[in-house]
Structure 1
Amino acid sequence: MTKAIIIEKTGGPEVLQWNDVQVGEPGEEQVRIRQTAIGLNYIDTYQRSGLYPVPMPGGIGQEAAGVIEAVGSRVSHVKVGDRVVYAGGPAGSYAEKRVMPAAPLVKLPDNVSDQQAAALLLKGMTVQFLIRRTYKVKAGETVLLHAAAGGVGLIACQWLRALGVTVIGTVSSEEKAALAKENGCTHTILYTKEKFADRVRELTDGAGVPVVYDSVGKVTWDDSLSCLQPLGLMVSFGNTSGPVAPVNIGQLAEKGSLFVTRPRLATYTAKPDDLQATASDLFDVVASGKVKAEVAQTFALKDAAEAHRALEGSKTVGSTVLIP
């Protein structure tokens, strides 16, 4: 019998149950995958809490790597025995094995391990669309990046450095500041000790930045807008402090005719060609050595509740992987 993490109701980490599940044969456009490494992401806590609803009883999680065990009759881009990784599709990656649609699967290059892939794909493709498509950064620019020592943050710092971009990153501790700087963050701001909007203005000689990448949400919203240049872009792509409150759009005019977007990876990779191109760009920058795919900490899958507590308590840095 296969084991998986199941939720029957929303709530805190305590609702995560380590249960037996049955895994059948794949349908025409599905595969069965034996999973070897599962990515831990903040979106998983949203699914668990009910902020992002998922079917119940059922699984959570969006990202994993593993080996294909069986394929449906209409699946052609992967085959039995392929090493694959995915960062999308229906929730349910917190499992030893699962049947899932084949569409989100990406073949793994030989130079990327299963654990690296599970730590990398969702966060790395998120960075790719944020800095290459949502706002295409240019060498010489300065950007503000919140949570610079997080999983997305560390990948973004490395990639932005490679592109010649100056990164101002917010962090919660001296230890995280040091880690962010090691990974390419030019200036770090301890938001627990100083007002980041004032510091950004100081670092940019009062000009502000053309773009803010904000995965924090509620508590950083207003001050993030204050960091932007006229016609600047606010990229709100997460809610670790809670959802952003309803916005008076007149505030955008007052602060300099600002733009706001709330992008999702699922939209940017909805088309198969876009998914493969995004993943390919990520794997290429990893192969170049400019971005390192490192796993900062691991937990056994059965200890997913402990991993969630660590993530929500800001006790993790970089990427975390669950091991079945």
Structure 2
Amino acid sequence: MISMVTSNVRVVRSILAAAPHRSALRLLPSIDPRSSSLLQLSRSHTSPSLRTLAVVAARSSYSSLLSTEEPNMVKVKAIRVHELGGPEVLKWEEVEVGEPKEGEIRVRNKAIGVNFIDIYFRKGVYTKDLPFTPGMEAVGVVMAVGPGLTGIEVGDVVAYAGNPMGSYSEEQILPANAAVPVPSTIDHKVAASILLKGMTAYVLLRRCFKVEAGHTILVHAAAGGVGSLLCQWAKALGATVIGTVSTEEKAAQAAQDGCHHVIVHTKEDFVSKVNEITSGKGVNVVYDSVGKDTFQGSLSCLMSRGFMVSFGQSSGTPDPIPLSYLLPKSLFLTRPSLMHYTATRDELLAAAGEVFANVASGVLRVRVNHIYPLSDAARAHIDLESRKTSGSIVLVPDI
């Protein structure tokens, strides 16, 4: 840096000594503009035109120096995971968030949705490079937009669900094309609690298997975040809904959410009960987010050419089955990912639009039953894993 300044001063002195002055101007681009001594030279020279030349060089130096500095960083608090494990690995720490680049926005989160996929990443069921900030869903206010970005402005309220991970933070950088506008009629906590789960329900009910009037469906964890929405939406579509839950309290909620038949699986065998309810015919589709404990039974509940939709594994990864296991009833089996069904901007907007429209019409009623400070995310994970929660869980930043 010292040699650079010396070189700059030497070049400027030679320019100031040059004549004619117009020729000297052409030498200006050769200056490596980093020296604060340029301004001092501009003040000391007696010739007005050459003084002006040095001022130009000084300003060029200052502008160039600014452009090479690190971008402004905003310090915020976030949950960080440095090692995989239980809820205790969720650490409340200070992090730095930079300014948005081209195609990006910086958002101050107002409400953050908690989903079981957050636990999968924390445990290492799904892999992510360490350290990381968990969270796949949030609603917030746009604080800054990247250069040249149009269609979104500072002050807009937006939501996102899915990639990129990192919503357990007071602020975060998002790709602008991942954010969707939130209708002003929808509360921040409601939007944050329903977008990921609601788009998941949309994909399950309308894309993986298109539920229609006359169908009979089985929904496991019917009082959970996604399960509750599946029951409400499926009933509105005219389907007969059978739901499984773990307690009588959750059974009452599932009934309110549209289940025509509720099975408390801790008290009775759900396979036998489904067989009884359907008079031995089975169901058209099973939506199974439980995994290991229910997978085999779920397959047994399907009718001929039925659809098994496995979209979670709260009890663990299901045991593998041979392909021939599907043959006796020509069953279909899928393990969908929301991200594959919202891969394009049009698909994302369509899914989010369906969710918000059904909230506005009253088809989907959101229960935000549990609100925790963001700093207490570990307790939220403990309660979710121990099945103490029902409905949706929301974290609120401590700001």
TM over 0.5: yes
- Residues 239-278 of structure 1: matches in 2 within 5 Å? 239-254=313-328, 256-278=329-351
Partner of 2:40: none
Partner of 1:143: 217
- Specify the code of the residue in structure 2 equivalent to 1:289: G
Give the Cα–Cα distance (whole angstroms) in 2 for the partners of residues 9 and 101 of structure 1: 27
Q: RMSD across aligned C-alpha pairs, in angstroms? A: 0.9
The normalised TM-score by structure 1 is: 0.98
Instruction: Judge which range, 238-247 or 220-229, deviates more.
Output: 238-247
Partner of 1:39: 113
Give the Cα–Cα distance (whole angstroms) in 2 for the partners of residues 295 and 153 of structure 1: 14
Partner of 1:185: 259
Give the Cα–Cα distance (whole angstroms) in 1 for the partners of residues 272 and 193 of structure 2: 34
Contact 1:145–1:213 (Cα < 8 Å) also in 2: yes
User: In terms of Rg, which structure is larger?
Assistant: 2
Unpaired segments ≥5 residues, structure 1: none
Partner of 2:160: 86
Partner of 1:99: 173
Unpaired segments ≥5 residues, structure 2: 1-74
Deviation at 1:75, TM superposition (A): 3.2
Partner of 2:132: 58
Deviation at 1:74, TM superposition (A): 4.6
From 240, 246, 251, the equivalent of 1:172 is 246
Length, aligned pairs only: 323
Give the Cα–Cα distance (whole angstroms) in 1 for the partners of residues 380 and 246 of structure 2: 19
- Residues 293-308 of structure 1: matches in 2 within 5 Å? 293-308=366-381
Contact 2:366–2:391 (Cα < 8 Å) also in 1: no
- Residues 119-130 of structure 1: matches in 2 within 5 Å? 119-130=193-204
Partner of 1:28: 102
Deviation at 1:6, TM superposition (A): 0.2
Deviation at 1:140, TM superposition (A): 1.8
Of structures 1 and 2, the one with the larger relative CO (CA 8 A, separation 6+) is 1
- Pair 1:9 & 2:88 matched: no
Kindly report structure 1 stretches of 4+ aligned residues shifted beyond 3 Å. none
Give the Cα–Cα distance (whole angstroms) in 2 for the partners of residues 142 and 244 of structure 1: 24
Partner of 1:288: 361
Contact 2:213–2:238 (Cα < 8 Å) also in 1: yes
Give the Cα–Cα distance (whole angstroms) in 1 for the partners of residues 178 and 268 of structure 2: 42
**Structure number having the greater helix percentage:** 2
Report percent identity of matched pairs. 53
Deviation at 1:294, TM superposition (A): 2.9
Deviation at 1:111, TM superposition (A): 1.1
Contact 1:117–1:293 (Cα < 8 Å) also in 2: no
Contact 1:148–1:171 (Cα < 8 Å) also in 2: yes
- Specify the code of the residue in structure 2 equivalent to 1:282: V
Contact 2:198–2:226 (Cα < 8 Å) also in 1: yes
Indicate the SS of the match to 2:258: coil
